[in-house]
Amino acid sequence: MGKPLIECVPNFSEGRRPEVIEAIVAPFKNRPGVYLFDYRADEDHNRLVVSLVGHPAEIQESLLEAAKVARDHIDMNTHQGAHPRIGAVDVVPFTPIANITMEECVELARSFGKRYVEETGIPVYYYEDAALIPERKRLEVVRKGQYEVLKDEARTVPARRPDVGEAALHPTAGGTVIGARKFLVAFNVNLDTDNLDVAKEIAKHVRSSSGGFCHVKGIGVALEERGLVQVSMNLVDYEKNALYRVLETIRMEAKRYGVSVVETEVYGMVPAGAVLDSAAYYLQIAGFDPQQIIELRLLQMMGEAAQ
Amino acid sequence: MGKPLIECVPNFSEGRRPEVIEAIVAPFKNRPGVYLFDYRADEDHNRLVVSLVGHPAEIQESLLEAAKVARDHIDMNTHQGAHPRIGAVDVVPFTPIANITMEECVELARSFGKRYVEETGIPVYYYEDAALIPERKRLEVVRKGQYEVLKDEARTVPARRPDVGEAALHPTAGGTVIGARKFLVAFNVNLDTDNLDVAKEIAKHVRSSSGGFCHVKGIGVALEERGLVQVSMNLVDYEKNALYRVLETIRMEAKRYGVSVVETEVYGMVPAGAVLDSAAYYLQIAGFDPQQIIELRLLQMMGEAAQ
């Protein structure tokens, strides 16, 4: 078994000052065990989204360094931006990629949260799978009213008290939401019709909120320039709701309207398992082991070699 | 672009003496840049097959060390075994895996061949894509009559003279065949009939030797214990003859007999691209980039970090 590999996508409340953005990101660069896939600052949101993959210990060290930079340069009392937020380091989700279970990611989030409070002085709320209070599983519940409301309620309303740290937000850096969640796959299916109702109806049948697959979120969207419609989805558990199963259900539903699938899109990054699982289904491969893939085996061996 | 990655499967003429086998394999172990996937000795064949993946420079160094061990411990004049062979280090094929073209692998094979002769004193024949003489593309042509015939003909028959080195084999270690070839995927398709003729007939339609796909070799085989038959194939160029295309052709042909595909097998290792290509076909993913796969991106970044 190779070294554990996680994804972490910390969100910082700074999308406008290039020198601050670069200072926050610096601890993620040229650091063994931490791979900086991407970072994007949005001026309207006044927010920085960083994509990291790597080994848990090294990712935690780099996060602590980056958090101290954000804490010292961002004042939530003057921060403005279109995206909801409660702190300078707003959200830190840990996601299992390889050689680590979700349970271990939950433990990781919770132990990191304790150390984080000690070293940064910023109080922590746990969310998603790491939530200690069931309501806090949902990020929007934790962030309700954002920094402006929470800075008072954290002191005065017991139900809004941080999970770790003082019953008060940090005077300038606010609070941080730390958690563990599964990898989210963005999967879109384009249909050869300009009838938006078809996409909306099909989206209803595949998404959990209207009784479809338990781990699919989805809406119907018009692609007006192309004269097509799209079922735009997030698969929040691609192991339970595999790409092929969701796609075949959409193909089957579309037939009802004489409509077919023009193409699909996998947007952004995706773990190998999400795609290999569908390949094994369609190719009917019996007993397929991802370790038969040269590159995955190599990665595993490199992890072992590094241990 | 990451570091070039190749596969190399050297075959040595020793399958019986464990201490010699371990001495040959030792240079491939615990060596940065060389990943020893597997090694298997066969007593009947009296042959050792080693699977390596890694970076070209480090693989070449380890091969030279291993070749010297084989040269010093194997005497072809007394060697016996069921598998055709011409030397102690019988065959060394280089296969591109990532960040390297076939043309570069051909150059690699040829420059390695020159150095190999200088350092080991064993003459070299080039085969497959690295062949200098068209007939020598085929390994069986180079190995015709095996060591016993070639040791005389290498001196006396101009057409059998080594490509590099003296017009004579090494007195104990014979000669070595070095080359570059594409990755070979072993792909079997099991059919729900016990009629072997069906598998044989379908194999005829998909393999190149009887006019099917140009880069498929295949035969029909009975799986007697299971009461099934199998189209057993080697895809010698999985980029030109993709798994999904071969499988769908077999499904289509099988329909003629009212037969369907029970399951398939991908035997042994396979490059990610071979499977992802089929996933992208069946899932109809538009513009899919293998670098969207987290693990492949990570491997690429690790290669860059190591440069």
Residues A157-193 have pLDDT tens digits of 999 999 999 999 999 999 999 999 999 999 999 999 9
Residue A66 amino acid letter: A
Q: Where are the domains of chain A?
A: 5-180, 185-297
SS3 content of chain A, % helix, strand, coil (to 5): 40, 25, 30
Mean pLDDT, residues A30-48 taken together: 94
Q: In whole angstroms, how large is the CA radius of gyration of chain B? A: 21
Q: Is A299 at the interface with chain B, CB within 8 A?
A: yes
Contacts of B305 in chain A (CB under 8 A): 32
Residue A306: per-residue pLDDT: 52
Q: Cα dist. A155→A124, A144, A149, A164, A259 in Å?
A: 14, 15, 11, 13, 56
Residue A283 amino acid letter: L
B16-24 long-range Cβ contacts below 8 angstroms, 24+ apart = B16/B41, B16/B43, B16/B46, B17/B73, B20/B69, B20/B73, B20/B74, B21/B48, B23/B69, B23/B73, B24/B48, B24/B50, B24/B66, B24/B69, B24/B70, B24/B73
Q: Is B242 at the interface with chain A, CB within 8 A?
A: no
Q: Where are the beta strands (DSSP E) in chain A?
A: 5-8, 11-12, 34-42, 47-54, 89-98, 124-128, 176-180, 185-191, 216-223, 228-235, 261-267
Model pLDDT for residues B244-303, shown as the tens digit of each residue? 999 999 999 999 999 999 999 999 899 999 999 999 999 999 999 999 999 999 988 887
Helix (H, G, I), strand (E, B) or coil at B160: helix
Contacts of B278 in chain A (CB under 8 A): 279, 282-283
Mean pLDDT, residues A28-34 taken together: 94
Question: Among A24, A156, A140, A16, which residue's Cα sits nearest to residue A86?
Answer: A140
Architecture of domain A185-297: 2-Layer Sandwich (3.30)
Q: Is A6 at the interface with chain B, CB within 8 A?
A: no
- Looking at CA atoms only, how far is residue A151 from chain B in angstroms? 38
Residue B307: per-residue pLDDT: 43
Residue A299: per-residue pLDDT: 87
- Of all residues in chain A, the percent with pLDDT exceeding 90 is 95
Q: What phi and psi values does residue A289 have, to the nearest 5 degrees?
A: -115, 120
- Per the CB < 8 A criterion, the answer to whether A130 and A92 are in contact is no
Burial of B32 (0-12, 13-18, 19+ CB in 10 A): exposed
- Per the CB < 8 A criterion, the answer to whether B184 and B93 are in contact is no
Q: Is B223 at the interface with chain A, CB within 8 A?
A: no
**CA–CA gap between residue B8 and residue A78 (Å, rounded):** 60
Whether B48 shows a pLDDT value over 90: the answer reads yes
Model pLDDT for residues B94-114, shown as the tens digit of each residue? 999 988 999 999 999 999 999
**CA–CA gap between residue B212 and residue A187 (Å, rounded):** 36
Model pLDDT for residues A298-307, shown as the tens digit of each residue? 988 887 655 4
Residue A305: per-residue pLDDT: 56
Angle at B111 between CA B109 and CA B113, to 5 degrees: 65
Whether A48 shows a pLDDT value over 90: the answer reads yes
Is the four-CA dihedral B213, B216, B222, B225 of positive or negative sign? negative
Residue B151: per-residue pLDDT: 97
The pLDDT confidence band at residue B306, using thresholds 50, 70 and 90, is low
Q: Please report where in the chains the tokens 């792909």 appear, as a residue.
A: B187
Residue A2: per-residue pLDDT: 73
Residue A303: per-residue pLDDT: 73
Residue A3: per-residue pLDDT: 84
Model pLDDT for residues A193-235, shown as the tens digit of each residue? 999 999 999 999 999 999 999 999 999 999 999 999 999 999 9
Residue B265: per-residue pLDDT: 95
Model pLDDT for residues B149-161, shown as the tens digit of each residue? 999 999 999 999 9
Model pLDDT for residues B112-123, shown as the tens digit of each residue? 999 999 999 999
Pairing of strands B176-180, B124-128: parallel
Residue A1: per-residue pLDDT: 57
Question: Among B8, B7, B75, which residue's Cα sits nearest to residue B46?
Answer: B75
Q: What is the ipTM of this complex?
A: 0.88
**CA–CA gap between residue A89 and residue A25 (Å, rounded):** 12
Mean pLDDT, residues A269-279 taken together: 95
Q: Indicate which of B293, B297, B301, B304 best probes the interface with A, i.e. most A CBs within 10 Å of its own CB.
A: B293
Specify whether domain A5-180 bears CATH 3.30.1550.10.
no
Name which of B97, B244, B288 is nearest A283 (Cβ-Cβ): B244
- Write out the CATH class of domain B185-270: alpha beta
Q: Is A297 at the interface with chain B, CB within 8 A?
A: yes
